[in-house]
Amino acid sequence: MKFNSRTDKGNVRATNQDAFFAGELSDGSVLAVVCDGMGGASGGDIASQMAVEHITDSIISVYRPDMSDIAVKSILISSLEEANKIIYEKSLSSPDYFGMGTTAVCAIVKTNKIYIVHAGDSRAYCIDDVGIVQLTKDHSVVQRMVEEGTITREKAVTHPDRNLITRAIGVDRSVNVDFCQETVFQNDLILLCTDGLSGCVSNEEILSLCRENGVDTIADKLVDEAKANGGRDNITAVVIECGEVVYG
C-alpha cells in the first residue's frame, strides 16, 4: 500500500493544533491517526500530540498480523480510551491545560479491510470507482441537528455552530467512541482529515482531486484547495491507496 500526508496551519490560525501519524505495521498494513486539538493557546497542541503519540504507541506495541477482527477492534477502541484518560489527567494538572481536548480518527488499513475508530468531527472517507463515501459520522451539534431534521445538510456546511463537537478525547473522564469496519478493494483511496479540510473542500472537489492526481500528490492538492477556499482552520490530510485484495 502507498500513503502520503500533509498538515498546514492554514491562512488564519497562528499555530497548527493538528497532529497526525501515518506508517506501516509489521505486516505492511497502514496505521493512520489524525487529531485536531482544542483548548487555549497551547492546550490544543499538547492534546493532539499526546493523543497521536499514545494511540500510535499503544497500537504498534500490541498489533499482530494474525489478529482477529474483534481483537483489532479492541485495540483500536482501548487506545483512544486510554489516550482520553491521560489527556484528561493532564488537563487537571494546570490551569493552562484546563478544558483541552482533541478529536481523533484512527484507521488500520489491511489488504481488503479497514478498521476505524473515532471521536469528534475529524473524518474518514473512501474514494473508489463509484464515488466518495464518508465512513465516519461527525459527533457535532450540526450533525445532530441534521438527524433531527432541524436543518438540511446544505445549511450545516455554513451553520454558525458547525465547529461545535459533542465528543472529544480528553475533555471528560471517559469518552464514547464509534467503531466501524468496511471492505476495501485494490486502488480504493482512504482519506483521513480534520475539519479544516472537510469544511473548506466539498465532497465533489475531494473526489475530483483524488481522481485527477496520484497518491503521492493528493494530500498536497487537497490542502492547497482548502487554503484557496479560505483556509479558515488548520488542515490535515492522510491519503492511503489500498493494495491488492487477498481473500481467505
- Domain assignment present for residue 190? The answer is yes
- Domain assignment present for residue 248? The answer is no
- Domain assignment present for residue 247? The answer is no
Q: Is the pTM of this model over 0.75?
A: yes
How many domains, the chain? 1
- Domain assignment present for residue 235? The answer is yes
Is 124 within 8 Å of 178 (Cβ atoms)? no
DSSP characters for 41-77? TTHHHHHHHHHHHHHHHHHHHH--TT--HHHHHHHHH
- Domain assignment present for residue 143? The answer is yes
Model confidence pLDDT, tens digit, residues 35-90: 999 975 568 999 999 999 999 999 999 999 999 999 999 999 999 999 999 999 99
User: What CATH number should be reported for the domain holding residue 21?
Assistant: 3.60.40.10
- Domain assignment present for residue 202? The answer is yes
- Domain assignment present for residue 219? The answer is yes
Residue 124's domain comprises: 2-241
Model confidence pLDDT, tens digit, residues 188-247: 999 999 999 999 999 999 999 999 999 999 999 999 999 999 999 999 999 999 987 544
- Domain assignment present for residue 127? The answer is yes
